Amino acid sequence: MSSPAPAPTPSPSLSVELNGSVALKLTTFAEESYPNIETGPILGFDKKDTDANSISINITKIFQFPVNNNDEIFTLRGYNGKYQNDVLAKLKDTKTGVKLLGWFISTTNGKFISQTIVDSMVHLQEYNKRENKDETPILYLVYDPSKALDGVLSLKVFKLSEQFIKTYYSEDRFIPKNLIENKLSYKNIFEEVPTTLKNTFLTNLKT
C-alpha cells in the first residue's frame, strides 16, 4: 500500500508597508509627467517569519528611470538597465541592506500589464531564487494619477499570481488546456498584496 502524498506547503502570507515618502515621491513623478508614463525600480527590506509562515516587505526608496520610452517602458536593456545597476551598486556601498524589490509604474485608466514587466518580474524572481536562495515575490507598485482628480489615492501593490506561476513553470505552459486547468486569464496574472501606508501625514501634504 503506497503512502499518501505529502500535503503541499502553503505559500507564506505576504504584506507590504509603503513609506509615505515613497508615495509622495511617486505622486510627484506622476503629476509632473502626466499623461506620460513613468517607471523605475523600488527598493527596501523584507523580513521573513518562519514560525508564522509570513513575509513582510518595507518599500523605502524609489528611483525614476531617466529614459522614458512609452513603446517599451519597462525595458531593462540599454541606459535604464545601466542606471538601475549603478543605483544598486552605490546603495550596496553604503551597506544599508536595501535590495531591489521590483518596479513601479504611473499609469492611466488602469492600464499597467505588459509582456515586458511580466518577463522582468519572472526573471528577477528566478535570479533571486537561483543566486540567493530568496523566494520573496517580486513586487509591482502601480499608481494611477488620473484618479487623483477625484481625490482618490489610487496606489496598489501586486505580485505574480499563484495561477500564473503554476502555469508558467508547467510543462505545457500557455496552451489553452493548461490555462483552463490552472484557471489563468488576463485578469488574474497579478494578485494584489495587502499594503499599509506609513507616515500618512506626508501624503496629506498633496491634498
Decide if pLDDT at 106 tops 80.
yes
Higher pLDDT, 59 or 3: 59
Structure confidence at residue 119 as a pLDDT band (50, 70, 90): confident
Give the chain's radius of gyration (CA, Å): 18
Tell me which of 3-17, 102-116, 170-184 is least confident: 3-17
Are 43 and 60 in contact, with CB atoms under 8 Å apart?
Answer: yes
Residue 53's φ and ψ, nearest 5 degrees, are 50, 55
Q: pLDDT digit string (tens) for 197-206? A: 887 554 454 5
- CB contact at 8 A, 121 and 189: no
* Strand ranges, E, within 81-202: 99-106, 139-143, 155-160, 190-192, 195-198
> What domains are defined for the chain?
13-198 (3.40.140.10)
Q: What CA–CA distance (Å, rounded) separates 54 from 47? A: 8
3: left (phi over 0), alpha (psi -120 to 50) or beta: beta
The pTM of this model reads: 0.83
Looking at residues 24-29, what average pLDDT do you find? 88
Q: Which string of DSSP letters, residue by residue, matches 74-85? A: T--SHHHHHHHH
At 88 the pLDDT is 81
Residue 34: the pLDDT is 78
